[in-house]
C-alpha cells in the first residue's frame, strides 16, 4: 500500500507542479498585456526631452565597467558621452585590463590623473588612479583605473565615486537607444506614494544589426539560428515575464547590461556582491529585502521599450557558459536569501517572487532533466505508456509553441522591431524549432550549472564574443562532460575487473572448501560452470549500477569516485564471504528469514556457530588486502587500455549482459545441495530480502480483468462441485512456523462493514481498536461476505458451501453430507467450539454445527446467571452482549485442561437491531467524541446522529474485541493462536452506497506468529477462508485433508493491488440470489457494475461483459440447484475418510 502512496505522491506532485507551471506562464502572458499597453499609451504623448534639459531632472551617474575592451572602448565611451542629459556623469571603470584600454582612453580623451575625494562606502579593491579630461568637452567623464576584481567589484568602485542621485549600470559594449536614459529614469520621478529603487529596460539582440560609431542604424533579425532563438527567448522573457512581474511589483531581476538604481538604497544595501556570478539579480533582491525589512513602500519598475542592444552568444559553447553562469547566479542568490522563502514578513517578495524563482526557474530544468533521464530509462526497460507519452509530448510542444507565438504577436503589436520582409515568419519558424534544438541545450546547461556550483566553481568562464571580449575569466573549461564520463568509465573498468577477479577466486575457494568439508556435488564441472554463470550474472547487474554511480561521481571528483567504488566492492565482497560461510554451516543460503530474528538471536546464532574468531578475522583481512592488491595490480594496466582491450571488454560486457539478464534460473537442479551451492549467495539474499520487503505481486498467466481461475472438476455429472484442491498456500510466507498446530479463533462480528471500519471508510471509522489491530495483521480491505445476512456466514466461512435454496442451514436435517474446516480439523485432533450470545438454534446454526461434530456450543443457555444480558427492547433481548460473550470465552479457556489445538468460532450479536448495549449512554458519548476525532462537519454529524445507536453499538463491539484480545494476550496459548476477524455481513440499518456495500466487510488475520503485517486490496470472500486455512495447515503441519474438495471458494488472493480473480456468487437474502462478481464486474439483479479500487461502483452498459457474467452466474446457479435437488457434494469415500468419528 505504501508503494502506491509513494507513487501517487510522486505522480500527483509532478502533475500539480506541471499544471502550476503552465498556469503561471498563462498568467504571466495575460497579465503582462495590461502593463505593456499602459506603458505604450502613456509613452505615446510623453515628451521625454523635458528630462534631458531640465535642471530639475534627477542627477545620474553612469557606471561602465570595462575589461579588455580595447577594440571598441573609444567608440563606446563616445556614444555614452553623446547622451544629451543635463545632470550626468560618466564613470568608466577599467577593471585591470590586460590590453591597451587605458592607454587608448588616456590618449583619446586627454586624461590626466587627478586627486579625487570619495568615501569607500562599499569595500572594493584598490584604485590605481582616477582620471579626468583636460578637455572641458569631456568634463562629464571620469575614468578609474583599478586592480582587477570582477564586474561587481568594479561597479562597487564606481558607486563609491559616484556623486549623483541615481546610478545607471551598463555594459560598455551595449548600444543604447537615443532616449534610453530618459525612459529609464522617468519611472523614478513618476511615483508619489512609493520610492522607485530600480528600473530596467528590455535588452535586445544586436547580432546582424547595423551598428556604426556606437549607434544602432538598422535593426535586423539575427541571421543564424542560435542568436535568433535567443531573440525569441528575450522577447518572451522581457515583454511577457518581466512586464508581468513589474505589474505585480514582484520583479527580482534587472538586467546587468542596463539598469538604473537609487544610489542611496544601493549603498544601504551594501552594493554588489562580488562573491556571486549573479550580482545583478542578487543586488535587486537585496535592495528589495532592505526595503521590506524597513517597511518602506517601494517599487522596482520595468520599461518594455527596447533600450539597449547587446550581442548574444553565437555558439553553443559560449551560450552554454552563459547559461551555466546564469544558473549558478540564480542558485547563489536563492541560497543567500533563503530566508525569503514563503516568509510572510517579506510580503509578495517572500510569498510569490522568491518561491516562483525557486520552483520554476531553479527547479524546472532539474525536474525536466530527471524526467528526460527517467523516460530514457523506462523506455529501455519497456514500461513506457507510449500513447500517453506522445499525447503528453504533443501537449507540451503545442503549449510551448502557443506561448512563443503569443510573445511574437505581442512584439508585433507593440514595438514591431522586425519589420523586414520574412523576419516575423522566420521568428515563427524559430519558435517551432526551439523545443528540439535549443531548449534541451538550455536545460543541460542549467544542470551543468548546478553541478558546477556543487563543485564550487565560481568563475564566469571566457565569454568570447565576435569582436568583443568581456569579463575576467578563470580556468577555461576544456574538458567536456562527455569526456569526463568516458574517463570515469575507463577508470571504473579496472576496478570492476579487479572485483571480478576476486569473485572468481572466492567462487573457486568456496567450491573447493565445501567440497572438502562436506562433499562435491554430482556433475561437479557442470555445477561449477553454473556457479560461475550465476556469479557473472550477479556481477553484471551489480556492475552496471556501480559503474553508473562511479561515472556520475567522477564528474564531481575522480578520487571520490574511485574511493567510493572500491569501498563498496570491498563491502560487497565481505558480505559475500559471510554468506558463503553461512551456507557452509547451514546448507541453505541465507534469505529474508534473517529479518525474522532479533539482534540477540543473531548474536546467539553467530556465537553458537563459532562466532568471530581469529580465523575469521584473518580470513576477512586476507580478502580485503587481496582485493586492494588486485586493484593496485590491475588498475595501471587498464588505465588507458589499448583499443583491442576496449573491444574485448565491450564484447565480454555484451555477452555478460545477455547472460545476466537471461538468468540461469532456467537451469533447474534436482539436488538441493548442488543447487544451493551453485547459487550466488549475495544475489539470493538481496532477491529474498527484496521480496520480503516488497512482496511481488502475484502474476499468474491469464489473471487479467475479466479472467478468473477455474476449478478442475473431477466428475461434474455426479458431483457438481467436486474438484481437485489447487488452493495455494498463500499464508505461509507471512507466518513463523511453530512446532505445533496453532489455535484458531474465528470472530464473526455481527454487521461489521467496511463502510465504518479502518482507513478510507466512507462513513468514517468507528472501530479504533480494529484499525490499530489491522496494522499489525494481514488485512484485506476489500473482503466480501457471501451473504447479505447472518444465515450464510457459518456455512460459507467454515465450509465454503453452496447456498442451497434458502441458505445451506435451511436444509435442516436433510443437510447433504459435506466437509468443512471445522470437521476436518476435528478429524485432525482439533477441539472445536462455538460461542454465541444468543440462541444458536437461530438460523439452524446449532444444527449445522452439530453436523460438524462440534465439541461444544456455548450459546445463551451456557452463560452464567450473573452475566448481564443486553438491554431489552419491547421485552426482547438478543441475549448476551459481546463483552459478556468474550468474558465467557476466556473464562472457559482458563478452565480448559484439554491441550489439543482448538478451533473456536465466535459470533457476536450486539451490533444488531435494536442496537441496545449495556452502558449505552457511555457509548453514545463515545460516538460523539469519535465524530470529533474524525473531524466531521456539522452536516456529517447530523447525518450520523440519525444512526447513533448503530454507531454506538459498533464502538461497543470494538471495545469488546479490544478487551478480549488484550486479555487473551496474557494467556499462554496466545503465542500460538491465529485470530480471524470478519463481519458476517455489513449492517444494513445504516444506508448503503452501492449494491456491493452490503457484502463489503474487512478480514483481519492477527497472530503473534505473523512475521510482518501486510495489507491487501484484492477481493476475496468468506468462502475462500476455509480452503486457504486448510492449505496452510496442510502445508505446515501435515494436516490430513482431502485432495479433492467441494469448496465453492478457491482461496484467498494475497495480491496487494486491487483485483478480483474469483467468480463468486453472493446471496442477498435467503430467497434472493441476485449478485455475482467476476473480474472487475458485479452483476446485481441483471444490472452490470464496474467495481473500483475502493469498492465503489459505476453502472456499465457492456452487453458482452454482462453476458459473460450472466453465463458464469448461471453456471454457478446450476450447480447450486443441483445440490439443492439432492446431488451429493462430496463422494462417500472422501466424506467417510475425513469426517470426524
Partner 1 sequence: MPFANEPGVHIYKSNNFSKLFQLFLPGHKIFLLNNITHISTRFLYGAIVFFSFLTVILVSGILITVLRKKIMFDKRSMIVRQLEDWIMEVVLENASDNQSFFLPAAVSLVLKSQLAKRVLLRKLMELKKSLSGVSGDNIQKVYSQLNLQEISLKRLESKYWHVKARGLQELAVMHQDAYHEKVFELTNNKDTMVRMEAQISIVRLKGYSGLQFFDTLSYPLSEWHQLNLLSLLGHLPLSNEDGILSWLKSFNLSVVQFSLKLIGEQHAVEFHDEVINCLGHPEIIVRREAILCLGQMPSQEAATALKAHYLVEPDKNLQMIVIQILRKTGSHLDLPFLHILQNGEDLDIKLVADRSVLYLQKINGNRQIPVTAT
Does residue 371 touch partner 1 according to CB under 8 A? Answer: no
Between 107 and 420, CB nearer to partner 1: 420
If you write DSSP's letter for every residue of 186-234 in order, what string do you get? GGGGT-SSSEEEEEEEEEEE-TT-EEETTEEEE----SSHHHHHHHHHH
Does residue 412 touch partner 1 according to CB under 8 A? Answer: yes
Whether 511 contacts 531, CB under 8 Å:
yes
Binding map of partner 1 across residues 861-900, x = CB under 8 A, - = no contact: ----------------------------------------
Between 387 and 516, CB nearer to partner 1: 387
**Cα 379 from Cα 388, distance rounded (Å):** 13
Q: In what order do the strands lie in the sheet with 127-133?
A: 111-113, 127-133, 141-146, 88-95, 60-66, 166-170, 258-262, 195-205, 298-310, 175-176
What's the closest the beta carbon of residue 985 comes to partner 1, in angstroms?
A: 10
Between 173 and 305, CB nearer to partner 1: 305
What's the closest the beta carbon of residue 1009 comes to partner 1, in angstroms?
A: 35
What's the closest the beta carbon of residue 655 comes to partner 1, in angstroms?
A: 37
Does residue 567 touch partner 1 according to CB under 8 A? Answer: no
**Cα 379 from Cα 377, distance rounded (Å):** 5
What's the closest the beta carbon of residue 413 comes to partner 1, in angstroms?
A: 6
Q: Using CB under 8 A, pick the residue from 164, 220, 509, 913 that binds partner 1.
A: 913
Does residue 264 touch partner 1 according to CB under 8 A? Answer: yes
Does residue 482 touch partner 1 according to CB under 8 A? Answer: no
Whether 808 contacts 802, CB under 8 Å:
yes
What's the closest the beta carbon of residue 117 comes to partner 1, in angstroms?
A: 5
Q: Using CB under 8 A, pick the residue from 997, 1017, 1024, 1075 that binds partner 1.
A: 997
Q: Using CB under 8 A, pick the residue from 408, 453, 749, 957 that binds partner 1.
A: 408
**Cα 990 from Cα 992, distance rounded (Å):** 6
Nearest in space to 713 (alpha carbons), one of 382, 145, 1127, 114: 1127
Nearest in space to 1116 (alpha carbons), one of 1071, 1043, 1062, 1069: 1062
Please report, as residue ranges, which positions from 764 to 793 form the binding site for partner 1 (by CB under 8 A). 789
Between 300 and 755, CB nearer to partner 1: 755
- Burial profile 82-117: b = 16 or more Cβ within 10 angstroms, e = fewer: ebebebbbbbbbbbbbeeebbebbbeebebeeeeee
What's the closest the beta carbon of residue 122 comes to partner 1, in angstroms?
A: 13
- Burial profile 356-380: b = 16 or more Cβ within 10 angstroms, e = fewer: bbbeebbebbebbbeeeeeeeeeee
Tell me the three cell numbers of residue 740: 505445533
Interior angle at CA 637, CA 636 and CA 639, nearest 5: 60
Binding map of partner 1 across residues 1013-1052, x = CB under 8 A, - = no contact: ----------------------------------------
Between 91 and 532, CB nearer to partner 1: 91
**Cα 569 from Cα 574, distance rounded (Å):** 9
What's the closest the beta carbon of residue 424 comes to partner 1, in angstroms?
A: 6
Span interacting with partner 1, options 241-249, 311-319, 673-681, 987-995, rule CB under 8 A: 987-995
The burial of 1115, by beta-carbon neighbours within 10 Å (0-12 exposed, 13-18 middle, 19 or more buried), is given as middle
Whether 798 contacts 822, CB under 8 Å:
yes
Size of site (CB under 8 A) for partner 1? 69
Between 189 and 1107, CB nearer to partner 1: 189
**Cα 436 from Cα 453, distance rounded (Å):** 26
Give the up-direction half-sphere exposure of residue 985: CA atoms within 13 A in the CB hemisphere: 24
**Cα 584 from Cα 1025, distance rounded (Å):** 40
Between 409 and 724, CB nearer to partner 1: 409
What's the closest the beta carbon of residue 303 comes to partner 1, in angstroms?
A: 14
Note the residue count of the chain: 1141
Does residue 44 touch partner 1 according to CB under 8 A? Answer: yes
Does residue 1092 touch partner 1 according to CB under 8 A? Answer: yes
Q: Using CB under 8 A, pick the residue from 36, 57, 72, 953 that binds partner 1.
A: 57
Give the up-direction half-sphere exposure of residue 439: CA atoms within 13 A in the CB hemisphere: 20
Does residue 451 touch partner 1 according to CB under 8 A? Answer: no
Query: DSSP E strands: which ranges in 875-976?
Result: 902-907
What's the closest the beta carbon of residue 64 comes to partner 1, in angstroms?
A: 22
Binding map of partner 1 across residues 188-207, x = CB under 8 A, - = no contact: -xxxxx--------------
Tell me the three cell numbers of residue 971: 494467556
Q: Using CB under 8 A, pick the residue from 21, 52, 405, 1011 that binds partner 1.
A: 405
What's the closest the beta carbon of residue 854 comes to partner 1, in angstroms?
A: 22
What's the closest the beta carbon of residue 114 comes to partner 1, in angstroms?
A: 8
Category of 570 on φ-ψ map: left (φ > 0), alpha (ψ -120 to 50) or beta: alpha
What's the closest the beta carbon of residue 210 comes to partner 1, in angstroms?
A: 20
Tell me the three cell numbers of residue 572: 560487497
Does residue 120 touch partner 1 according to CB under 8 A? Answer: yes
What's the closest the beta carbon of residue 789 comes to partner 1, in angstroms?
A: 6
Binding map of partner 1 across residues 811-850, x = CB under 8 A, - = no contact: -------------------------------x--------
Does residue 54 touch partner 1 according to CB under 8 A? Answer: yes
Nearest in space to 1005 (alpha carbons), one of 736, 824, 734: 734
Q: How many CB atoms within 10 Å of residue 735? A: 17
What's the closest the beta carbon of residue 611 comes to partner 1, in angstroms?
A: 51
Q: Using CB under 8 A, pick the residue from 594, 992, 1009, 1127 that binds partner 1.
A: 992
Does residue 17 touch partner 1 according to CB under 8 A? Answer: no
Residue 416's φ and ψ, nearest 5 degrees, are 45, 55
Span interacting with partner 1, options 62-70, 184-192, 288-296, 637-645, rule CB under 8 A: 184-192
Q: Using CB under 8 A, pick the residue from 293, 601, 1098, 1132 that binds partner 1.
A: 1098
The DSSP 8-state label assigned to residue 1088 in this structure reads E
Residue 307's φ and ψ, nearest 5 degrees, are -105, -25
Does residue 754 touch partner 1 according to CB under 8 A? Answer: no
Does residue 384 touch partner 1 according to CB under 8 A? Answer: no
Residue 1016's φ and ψ, nearest 5 degrees, are -130, 135
Does residue 385 touch partner 1 according to CB under 8 A? Answer: yes
Whether 366 contacts 446, CB under 8 Å:
yes
Query: DSSP E strands: which ranges in 628-777?
Result: 723-724, 743-749
Q: Using CB under 8 A, pick the residue from 2, 115, 668, 935 that binds partner 1.
A: 115
Q: Which residues bind partner 1 (CB under 8 A)?
A: 11-12, 15, 41-42, 44-45, 47, 50-51, 54-58, 115-121, 127, 186, 189-193, 264, 385, 387-388, 391-392, 394-395, 398-399, 401-402, 405-406, 408-409, 412-413, 416, 419, 424, 428, 762-763, 789, 842, 913, 988-989, 991-995, 997, 1069, 1090, 1092-1093, 1098
Amino acid at each position: 500500500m505504501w508503494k502506491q502512496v509513494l507513487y501517487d505522491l510522486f505522480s500527483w506532485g509532478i502533475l500539480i507542479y506541471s499544471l502550476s507551471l503552465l498556469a503561471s506562464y498563462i498568467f504571466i502572458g495575460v497579465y503582462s498585456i495590461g502593463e505593456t499597453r499602459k506603458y505604450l499609451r502613456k509613452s505615446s504623448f510623453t515628451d521625454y526631452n523635458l528630462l534631458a534639459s531640465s535642471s530639475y531632472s534627477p542627477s545620474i551617474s553612469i557606471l561602465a565597467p570595462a575589461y579588455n575592451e580595447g577594440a571598441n572602448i573609444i567608440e563606446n565611451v563616445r556614444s555614452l558621452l553623446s547622451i544629451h542629459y543635463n545632470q550626468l556623469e560618466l564613470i568608466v571603470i577599467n577593471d585591470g585590463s590586460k590590453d591597451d584600454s587605458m592607454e587608448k582612453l588616456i590618449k583619446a580623451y586627454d586624461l590626466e590623473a587627478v586627486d579625487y575625494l570619495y568615501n569607500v562606502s562599499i569595500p572594493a579593491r584598490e584604485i590605481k588612479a582616477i582620471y579626468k579630461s583636460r578637455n572641458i568637452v569631456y568634463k562629464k567623464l571620469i575614468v578609474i583605473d583599478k586592480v582587477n576584481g570582477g564586474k561587481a567589484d568594479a561597479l562597487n568602485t564606481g558607486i563609491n565615486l559616484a556623486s549623483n542621485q541615481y546610478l545607471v549600470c551598463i555594459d560598455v559594449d551595449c548600444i543604447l537607444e537615443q532616449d534610453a536614459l530618459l525612459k529609464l529614469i522617468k519611472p523614478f520621478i513618476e511615483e508619489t506614494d512609493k520610492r522607485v529603487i530600480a528600473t530596467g529596460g528590455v535588452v535586445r539582440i544586436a547580432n546582424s544589426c547595423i551598428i556604426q560609431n556606437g549607434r544602432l542604424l538598422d535593426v535586423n533579425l539575427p541571421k543564424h539560428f542560435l542568436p535568433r532563438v535567443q531573440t525569441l527567448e528575450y522577447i518572451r522573457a522581457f515583454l511577457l515575464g518581466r512586464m508581468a512581474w513589474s505589474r505585480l511589483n514582484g520583479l527580482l531581476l534587472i538586467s546587468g547590461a542596463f539598469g538604473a538604481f537609487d544610489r542611496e538604497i544601493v549603498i544601504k544595501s551594501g552594493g554588489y556582491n562580488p562573491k556571486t556570478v549573479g550580482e545583478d539579480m542578487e543586488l535587486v533582491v537585496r535592495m528589495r529585502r532592505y526595503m521590506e525589512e524597513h517597511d518602506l513602500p517601494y517599487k522596482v519598475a520595468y520599461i518594455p521599450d527596447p533600450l539597449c542592444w547587446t550581442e548574444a552568444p553565437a555558439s553553443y559553447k559560449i551560450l552554454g557558459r552563459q547559461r551555466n553562469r546564469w544558473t549558478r547566479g540564480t542558485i547563489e542568490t536563492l541560497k543567500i536569501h533563503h530566508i525569503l522563502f514563503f516568509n510572510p514578513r517579506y510580503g509578495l517578495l517572500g510569498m510569490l517572487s522568491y518561491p516562483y524563482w525557486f520552483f520554476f526557474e531553479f527547479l524546472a530544468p532539474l525536474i525536466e532533466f530527471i524526467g528526460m533521464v527517467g523516460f530514457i530509462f523506462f523506455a529501455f526497460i519497456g514500461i513506457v505508456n507510449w500513447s500517453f507519452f506522445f499525447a503528453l509530448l504533443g501537449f507540451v510542444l503545442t503549449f510551448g509553441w502557443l506561448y512563443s507565438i503569443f510573445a511574437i504577436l505581442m512584439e508585433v503589436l507593440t514595438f514591431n522591431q522586425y519589420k523586414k520582409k520574412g523576419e516575423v515568419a522566420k521568428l515563427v519558424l524559430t519558435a517551432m524549432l526551439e523545443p528540439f534544438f535549443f531548449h534541451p541545450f538550455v536545460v543541460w546547461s542549467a544542470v551543468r550549472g548546478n553541478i558546477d556550483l556543487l563543485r564550487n566553481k565560481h568563475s564566469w568562464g571566457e565569454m568570447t564574443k565576435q569582436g568583443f571580449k568581456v569579463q575576467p575569466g578563470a580556468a577555461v573549461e576544456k574538458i567536456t562532460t562527455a569526456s569526463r564520463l568516458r574517463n570515469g568509465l575507463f577508470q571504473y573498468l579496472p576496478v570492476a575487473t579487479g572485483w571480478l577477479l576476486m569473485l572468481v577466486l572466492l567462487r573457486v575457494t568456496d567450491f573447493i572448501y565445501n567440497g572438502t568439508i562436506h562433499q562435491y556435488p554430482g556433475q561437479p564441472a557442470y555445477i561449477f560452470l553454473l556457479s560461475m554463470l550465476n556469479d557473472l550474472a550477479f556481477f553484471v547487474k551489480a556492475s552496471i549500477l556501480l559503474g553508473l554511480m562511479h561515472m556520475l561521481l567522477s564528474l564531481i571528483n575522480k578520487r571520490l569516485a574511485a574511493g567510493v567504488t572500491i569501498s563498496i566492492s570491498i563491502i560487497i565482497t565481505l558480505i559475500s564471504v559471510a554468506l558463503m560461510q553461512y551456507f557452509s554451516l547451514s546448507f541453505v543460503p541465507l534469505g529474508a528469514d534473517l529479518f525474522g530474528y532479533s539482534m540477540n538471536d543473531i548474536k546467539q546464532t553467530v556465537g553458537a556457530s563459532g562466532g568471530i574468531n581469529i580465523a575469521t578475522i584473518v580470513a576477512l583481512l586476507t580478502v580485503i588486502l587481496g582485493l586492494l592488491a588486485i586493484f593496485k595490480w590491475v588498475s595501471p594496466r587498464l588505465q588507458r587500455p589499448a583499443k583491442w582491450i576496449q573491444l574485448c571488454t565491450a564484447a565480454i560486457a555484451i555477452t555478460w549482459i545477455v547472460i545476466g539478464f537471461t538468468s540461469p534460473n532456467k537451469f533447474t537442479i534436482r539436488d538441493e545441495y548442488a543447487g544451493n551451492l551453485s547459487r550466488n549467495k549475495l544475489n539470493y539474499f538481496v532477491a529474498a530480502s527484496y521480496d520480503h520487503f516488497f512482496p511481488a505481486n502475484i502474476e499468474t498467466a491469464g489473471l487479467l480483468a475479466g479472467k478468473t481461475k477455474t476449478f478442475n472438476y473431477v466428475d461434474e455429472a455426479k458431483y457438481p462441485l467436486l474438484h481437485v484442491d489447487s488452493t495455494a498456500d498463500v499464508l505461509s510466507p507471512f507466518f513463523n512456523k511453530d512446532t505445533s498446530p496453532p489455535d484458531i479463533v474465528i470472530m464473526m462480528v455481527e454487521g461489521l462493514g467496511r463502510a465504518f471500519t479502518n482507513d478510507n471508510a466512507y462513513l468514517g471509522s468507528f472501530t479504533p481498536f480494529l484499525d490499530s489491530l489491522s496494522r499489525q495483521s494481514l488485512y484485506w480491505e476489500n473482503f466480501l461476505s457471501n451473504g447479505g445476512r447472518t444465515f450464510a456466514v457459518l456455512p460459507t466461512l467454515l465450509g465454503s458451501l453452496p447456498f442451497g435454496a434458502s441458505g445451506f442451514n435451511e436444509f435442516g436435517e436433510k443437510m447433504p453430507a459435506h466437509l468443512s474446516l471445522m470437521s476436518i480439523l476435528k478429524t485432525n485432533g482439533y477441539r472445536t467450539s462455538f460461542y454465541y450470545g444468543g440462541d444458536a438454534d437461530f438460523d439452524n446454526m446449532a444444527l449445522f454445527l452439530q453436523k460438524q461434530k462440534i465439541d461444544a456450543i456455548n450459546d445463551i443457555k451456557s452463560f452464567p446467571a450473573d452475566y448481564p444480558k443486553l438491554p431489552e427492547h419491547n421485552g426482547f433481548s438478543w441475549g448476551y452482549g459481546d463483552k459478556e460473550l468474550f468474558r465467557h470465552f476466556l473464562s472457559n479457556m482458563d478452565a480448559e485442561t484439554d491441550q489439543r489445538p482448538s478451533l473456536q468460532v465466535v459470533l457476536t450479536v450486539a451490533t444488531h437491531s435494536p442496537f441496545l448495549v449495556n452502558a449505552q449512554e457511555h457509548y453514545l458519548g463515545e460516538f460523539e467524541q469519535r465524530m470529533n476525532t474524525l473531524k466531521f462537519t456539522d452536516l456529517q454529524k447530523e447525518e450520523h446522529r440519525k444512526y447513533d445507536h448503530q454507531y454506538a453499538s459498533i464502538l461497543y463491539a470494538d471495545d469488546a474485541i479490544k478487551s478480549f484480545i488484550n486479555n487473551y494476550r496474557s494467556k499462554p496459548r496466545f503465542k500460538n493462536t491465529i485470530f480471524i476477524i470478519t463481519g458476517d455481513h455489513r449492517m444494513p440499518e445504516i444506508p448503503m452506497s452501492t449494491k456491493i456495500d452490503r457484502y463489503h466487510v474487512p478480514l483481519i488475520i492477527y497472530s503473534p506468529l505473523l512475521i510482518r503485517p501486510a495489507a491487501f486490496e484484492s477481493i476475496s470472500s468468506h468462502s475462500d477462508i476455509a480452503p486457504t486455512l486448510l492449505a496452510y495447515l496442510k502445508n505446515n503441519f501435515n494436516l490430513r485433508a482431502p485432495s479433492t474438495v467441494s469448496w465453492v471458494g478457491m482461496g484467498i488472493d494475497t495480491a496487494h493491488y486491487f483485483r478480483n480473480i474469483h467468480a463468486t456468487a453472493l446471496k442477498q437474502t435467503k430467497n434472493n440470489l441476485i449478485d455475482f462478481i467476476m473480474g472487475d464486474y458485479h452483476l446485481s439483479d441483471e444490472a452490470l457494475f464496474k467495481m473500483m479500487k475502493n469498492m465503489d461502483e459505476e453502472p456499465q452498459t457492456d452487453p458482452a461483459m454482462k453476458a459473460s457474467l450472466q453465463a458464469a452466474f448461471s453456471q454457478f446457479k446450476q450447480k447450486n440447484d443441483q445440490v439443492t435437488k439432492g446431488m451429493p457434494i462430496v463422494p462417500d469415500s472422501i466424506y467417510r475418510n475425513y469426517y470426524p468419528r
